[in-house]
Amino acid sequence: MRIMRLIAAAAALAALAYAELAQSQEGPILIGASIPLTGGVSTFGQHSRWGAELAVSEANAKGGVLGRKIEVDFQDNRCNPAEAVKSVTQMLSEKKYVAIFDGLCSSAALAIMPLVERAGVPFVVANASATSIAERSGVGGNKWTFKVNPTDLSMLDALVGWLDKEGKAGNIAFLGEDSDFGRAGSTGLETALKKRNLKLASVDFFQKGTADFTPVFTKIKARKPALFAIYAVDADFQNAMRQWYSMGGGVPLTGRVLVDQVPKEIMDSGFLDGTTSVQPYDPSVDTPGNKAFVEAFRKLHNVPPILVSFESYEAMKVLIDAIRRAGKADPAAIRDALATAKMPSMLGTVIEFDDHNLAHNNAIILTIKGGKVMVVGMSKT
């Protein structure tokens, strides 16, 4: 028994020593990522991870960057700022990560921002929606944080502009999930409408995890709005769509409807025809870059990418591109390279950061016609 324990201990020590040794040599370039791998929004964390990993494996297949392979270390933050602080502090203290990636939830990203500033490591935000992230970055603020995905405010401005052209923006009812995502939606719509001297006809929120939307749908339908903006994701969105269908609908949908996740039957029936949605991404965008991306993603994971996967994919590509241009795996140099980024996006635009370290990629305006999703416009955010 004793001997066994000694052998096991010796083996463990040897393994540890080997790992240390391997690490100290010219190893891969390490990027740290903090995403919700568990908890209520883990589906998004999963897709963010898949998107980032695809970008990394594509770069590694071409020989990596600066002659070294890239490796991403994913840590769980459960969409909780306390966990995010703990996981990112750990990664930063190990001093081997050249950049921190994502955060995913706004509250997590906001909590990470002061940490990266103190440690002097760049932080690339791919998915968080809070406007305050960009407001606090760049000039006069946190110079280490860069936000690749557009703000809700700008996307909704584009949508409202579109709807207003068709004279439909005056009577929109809003239903959103009670989270930073949903609240950003209502404030974004209200701000965009105010600019045109309009306002939302009604505003309602539901708790995440609500299974039953029939009461609130009945209420909204009774008010007879011209458009219905719905901000729901994941299981809530699935439940909402099915229940909306069984109630007969009757009002065209708008907002950030997840048109790529509508159940096939509902889509095919033409029930949602007339929906207008704005998203930072849709799998049906017709550019060669996107087609290749969707196919590669599908082959690996058997499901098409969602917008979170795309956002992480492109944000990771931006980061990898910056590392290459920086010429060395030094966080400060990478930060400077990020500030001067000019990378082409799969949406046909060029990603570059403004003086608040915010990129202004195109928002895509989608509509559903004949049971199919169609891109009807792209708008700079």
Q: Which residues bind another protein (CB under 8 A)?
A: 37-43, 46, 76, 78-82, 85-86, 89-90, 92-94, 106-107, 110-111, 114, 118-119, 130, 132, 136, 178-180, 182-184, 204-207, 209-212, 214-216, 218-219, 222, 234-236, 238-239, 242-243, 245-248, 263-266, 269
Smallest distance, another protein to C-beta of residue 245, A: 6
- Give CA separation, 136 vs 84, 123, 140, in Å: 18, 13, 8
- Give CA separation, 178 vs 123, 186, 248, 314, in Å: 27, 10, 25, 28
Which residue lies nearer to another protein by CB, 203 or 378?
A: 203
Smallest distance, another protein to C-beta of residue 210, A: 7
CA distance 151 to 127: 10
Which residue lies nearer to another protein by CB, 171 or 210?
A: 210
CA distance 318 to 291: 19
| 126 within 8 A of 341, measured Cβ to Cβ | no
Smallest distance, another protein to C-beta of residue 269, A: 8
Comparing CA positions, the residue from 310, 314, 306, 336 lying closest to residue 323 is 336
Which residue lies nearer to another protein by CB, 156 or 320?
A: 156
Secondary element (H or E) of residue 19: helix 2-24
Place of tokens 């490591």: 121
Residues 6+ apart with CB under 8 A from 30: 71, 72, 73, 96, 97, 98
Smallest distance, another protein to C-beta of residue 104, A: 13
The residues pairing with 204 across neighbouring beta strands, listed in sequence order, are 175
Which residue lies nearer to another protein by CB, 30 or 322?
A: 30
Smallest distance, another protein to C-beta of residue 359, A: 21
Smallest distance, another protein to C-beta of residue 285, A: 24
Which residue lies nearer to another protein by CB, 150 or 182?
A: 182
Which residue lies nearer to another protein by CB, 312 or 345?
A: 312
Which residue lies nearer to another protein by CB, 246 or 287?
A: 246
- Give CA separation, 107 vs 47, 81, 231, 256, in Å: 19, 6, 18, 21
| E-only strand ranges, the chain | 29-35, 70-76, 97-102, 123-125, 145-147, 172-177, 202-206, 227-231, 253-254, 276-279, 343-344, 350-351, 362-369, 372-380
Smallest distance, another protein to C-beta of residue 203, A: 9
Smallest distance, another protein to C-beta of residue 142, A: 10
Sheet holding 372-380, edge to edge: 276-279, 362-369, 372-380
| 158 within 8 A of 195, measured Cβ to Cβ | no
| 33 within 8 A of 73, measured Cβ to Cβ | yes
Question: Is 93 in a helix, a strand, or coil?
Answer: helix
Smallest distance, another protein to C-beta of residue 215, A: 3
Which residue lies nearer to another protein by CB, 169 or 200?
A: 200
Which residue lies nearer to another protein by CB, 65 or 100?
A: 100
Q: Residue 139: how many CB atoms within 10 A of its CB?
A: 9
